[in-house]
């Protein structure tokens, strides 16, 4: 009898928006500052970039990235990014299709679903919310064709996508704690997230991530996380109507900086 109930528990797959909402509830409350380190390497050189993110629930974000011969600053809302041109004009551009950072901070299932759709990770069916039922006789849930259970690194995960064993785009969330574990984009670019820790106000973040893009592999490691007061200075920093916290973008001339510049153009 115990084995029967265990089998039922493992086989049950809730609606996708329930899973995404549980994931969003792991994304803290309020405004945070996250400092993380990225390493870029080729046959001749290694460059370490330190990023400082200021994040308000994934809907408003500011980035300052600094390293040897590198300075990159930008602001983001849900649909666009803002940066400073070389002549110090505020430029608005579409959010890069491969921008993934806000998936670790967005709190609402509808926003996470919309971002996954905009990234091309999954089709428009992810946008359909769960139906509300007002009487037990109305309940009818037949599952969603794009959502299955899968084993990922010895864990059971909810796997979003079609033909995932053929390296098609997808998205994996751990069943036990609703942590985002893996994203695979349509072009094969893959983000792996591991070693989650819990920070103040229930912000769950992976200490280590790895971005595999083409021949490149870029590790991302969190150095510190702190919750900050959303006062006047933070509001100005996150506001997309001013140039506070923005500087003209700079990249070095050596060969390695071509890959670094490509990274920031595509993923940031």
Question: Has residue 3 got a pLDDT over 60?
Answer: no
Show Cβ contacts of residue 188 under 8 Å, excluding neighbours closer than 6 positions.
Answer: 167
Q: Characterize 87-116 residue by residue with b for buried, 16 or more Cβ atoms within 10 angstroms of its Cβ, and e for exposed.
A: eeeeeeeebeebbbbbbbbbbbbebbbbbb
pLDDT over 80 at 138, yes or no = no
Residue 130 has a pLDDT of 75
User: What pLDDT is stored for residue 135 in this prediction?
Assistant: 55
Q: In the predicted model, is pLDDT for residue 8 greater than 90?
A: no
Per-residue pLDDT tens digits for 148-166: 999 998 899 999 999 999 9
Q: Looking at domain 14-127+146-267, what is its CATH homologous superfamily?
A: Lipoprotein localisation LolA/LolB/LppX (2.50.20.10)
Copy the structure tokens of residue 95: 């959010």
With tokens 């990235």, the residue in question is 65
Where does the pLDDT of residue 5 fall: very low under 50, low under 70, confident under 90, or very high at 90 and above?
Answer: very low
- The residue written with tokens 């790895």 in the block is 210
Strand pairing report for 31-41 and 216-228 = antiparallel
Contact 151, 157 (CB under 8 A): yes
Range with the poorest average pLDDT among 15-24, 71-80, 118-127, 130-139: 130-139
pLDDT > 70 in the chain, percent: 92
Does residue 141 have a pLDDT over 80?
A: no
pLDDT at 11 over 70: no
pLDDT at 6: 42
- pLDDT tens-digit map of 188-231: 999 999 999 999 999 999 999 999 999 999 999 999 999 999 99
- State residue 246 phi and psi, 5-degree precision: -115, 145
pLDDT, mean of residues 33-47: 96
């Amino acid at each position: 009898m115990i084995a029967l109930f265990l089998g039922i528990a493992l086989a049950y797959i809730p609606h996708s928006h329930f899973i995404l909402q549980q994931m969003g509830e792991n994304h803290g409350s309020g405004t945070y500052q996250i400092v993380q380190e990225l390493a870029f390497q080729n046959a001749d050189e290694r460059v370490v970039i330190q990023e400082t993110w200021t994040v308000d629930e994934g809907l408003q974000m500011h980035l300052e990235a600094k390293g040897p011969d590198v300075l990159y600053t930008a602001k983001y809302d849900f649909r666009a990014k803002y940066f400073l041109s070389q002549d110090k004009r505020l430029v608005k551009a579409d959010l890069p299709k491969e921008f993934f950072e806000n998936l670790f901070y967005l709190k609402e299932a509808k926003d996470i679903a919309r971002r996954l759709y905009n990234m091309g990770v999954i089709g428009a069916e992810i946008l359909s919310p769960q139906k509300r039922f007002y009487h037990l006789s109305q309940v009818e849930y037949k599952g969603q064709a794009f959502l299955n259970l899968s084993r990922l690194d010895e864990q059971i995960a909810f796997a979003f996508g079609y033909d995932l064993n053929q390296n098609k785009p997808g998205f994996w969330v751990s069943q036990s704690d609703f942590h985002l574990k893996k994203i695979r984009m349509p072009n094969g670019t893959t983000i792996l997230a591991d070693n989650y820790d819990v920070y103040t106000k229930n912000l769950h973040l992976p200490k280590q991530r790895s971005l595999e893009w083409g021949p490149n592999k870029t590790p991302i490691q969190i150095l510190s996380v702190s919750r900050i007061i959303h006062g006047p200075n933070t509001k100005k920093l996150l506001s997309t109507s001013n140039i506070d916290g923005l500087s003209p973008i700079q990249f070095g001339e050596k060969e390695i900086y071509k890959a670094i510049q490509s990274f920031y153009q595509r993923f940031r």
